[in-house]
Amino acid sequence: MNNDYFEKVTKLEEMKISEDYIIGWQTGYQQAPKLEEQRLSDAYEAGYEDGENKTIDSAEKFKK
């Protein structure tokens, strides 16, 4: 991965963002398949979308 990936993951952890969002973000950033439907959450879905777009715009909504 590149520095952008690691910098954003570190920032998300420092912001105390939910694990579901972070896992979704990492999965979306890497363009990996989503989790099984029954395991999806709003935080995961938002993280996945932000990861695909390489942003963390929705992160504040998913603080722990």
> 3-state secondary structure string, 11-22?
HHHHCCECHHHH
Q: Which pLDDT does position 59 carry in this prediction?
A: 97
For the chain, the residue count is 64
The answer to whether 48 touches 26, Cβ cutoff 8 Å, is no
Ordered per-residue pLDDT tens for the chain, 64 residues: 689 999 999 999 999 999 999 999 999 999 999 988 888 999 999 999 999 999 999 999 999 8
Range of the domain at 10: 3-62
> Per the structure, how many domains does the chain have?
1
Q: What does pTM read for this prediction? A: 0.92
